Amino acid sequence: MRHSPPLRDGHQIRLIEGGQAYFEALVSALEQARSQVHIETYIFDFHGAAAMVAEALERAALRGLRVWVVVDGVGTPGLPPEWRDRFTRAGVDWRVYSPLGTLGLLIPSRWRRLHRKLCVIDGQLAFCGGINILDDWYDPHHGTLAQPRLDFAVCARGALVQQMQETMAQLWWRIQGVRHVRQQQFPEAFSSFRAAGLHLPWTHEDAHALDGRLVAKAGLLLRDNVLNRSQIERAYLKAIGAARHEIVIANAYFLPGRRLRKALIHAAQRGVRVRLLLQGRYEYFMQYHAARPVYGALLAAGIEIHEYTASFLHAKVAVVDPDNDRPWATVGSSNLDPLSLLLAREANVVVADKAFAKQLHQRLHLAIEQQSTPVLAAIYTQRPWHQRLRDRVAFGLMRLALFLSGNRY
């Protein structure tokens, strides 16, 4: 089990809010790409603005760039026939992580999903966050939205780009190895697994490429099922434990385990203002209802809970002590729930920079004050019996799923 890697100096980090801004930044970078593109996402949809990214990847491949795309077998089980043909003709290499097969999610080992959202271009520029390739105004289950979903990503230059490219390359070659084994192509499979363990070459950028403001420190946190099982959770625990004034967490699917709950409660008890911005609109039964039973202990400790109601909340971000001399902020794909912290492949960028932390803090403060509804302890304890029953059923189902997967939380 690895501890959190140290944050390193010399990064250029830019906060991006919303899919539209993210797609525009991604497409702009793809148009300037010169050699290669690696992209991973849970959902790759082709409605509305998301098609901008698909078209930019197609153009990049047609220009002769090597384009690798990996999607999750649950989030994106298949390509529309039109786009399958277009990507094939252009030369876009497309792979599906852990296809479900006949029995689907009935097999607990298939609950381990690829949930991270990463992109590296030419080994120099990276994107990381919670934003899928999915139009802000569209939801696959709910159709057109009245307001765009709230989500964030970062655009980064610096040392973490190499780490990001290496982890993406390793996953690509492991997928290739499994594919060759299934096709009984054993020499090719051996070559793929061997490549997955190597540090593959990447393009070093020169010092002149890092124009603009340099962030003091930043780093990449990963969660997988081999070496990085608890890296993201440990980083949260360390930051919460060191907080002196304020903690703001925005998390779409929030069901923290015992250690995280205790850390938040202890922070509130020592005088730290703790605010949680959580999902306020019904999206999925399990995630929506299973979170509610933990509200009571948090509210009793003085933790403020606000439910985002303007649209769907999809953010997975946090800020600790933005006005302090040692601020901490994170933007990524990891929810604070057992699916993310115990089962999925996740990626978060951590930033230690006052200007960045303040920018993210201001946006979250605005969402809390203007786009959310506070959860009041008196109202929470008096919610109808049928709602409490649904909450308990969902919470019990989540615990049962963890038991079946062999995990404790």
Assess whether 85 carries a catalytic annotation: no
Given the residues 180, 306, 314, 361, select the one marked as catalytic. Answer: 314
Residue 213 Cα distances to 12, 15, 127, 356, angstroms: 6, 13, 17, 11
Assess whether 115 carries a catalytic annotation: yes
Residue 345 has, within 13 A of its CA and on its CB side, a CA count of 22
- In this structure, are residues 116 and 347 in contact, taking their beta carbons and an 8 Å threshold? yes
Environment class of 262 (CB within 10 Å of its CB; exposed 0-12, middle 13-18, buried 19+): middle
**CA-CA distance, 317 to 338, in Å (whole number)?**
17
* Cα–Cα nearest to 317, from 241, 381, 380, 239: 239
Assess whether 321 carries a catalytic annotation: yes
Given the residues 117, 306, 354, 361, select the one marked as catalytic. Answer: 117
Given the residues 321, 337, 353, 391, select the one marked as catalytic. Answer: 321
* Cα–Cα nearest to 55, from 67, 70, 43: 67
Provide the 3-class DSSP secondary structure of residue 78: coil
Assess whether 117 carries a catalytic annotation: yes
* Cα–Cα nearest to 239, from 348, 114, 363: 348
Given the residues 38, 316, 354, 361, select the one marked as catalytic. Answer: 316
Provide the 3-class DSSP secondary structure of residue 268: helix
Given the residues 11, 38, 72, 115, select the one marked as catalytic. Answer: 115
Given the residues 122, 139, 151, 353, select the one marked as catalytic. Answer: 122
Show which residues are catalytic.
115, 117, 122, 314, 316, 321
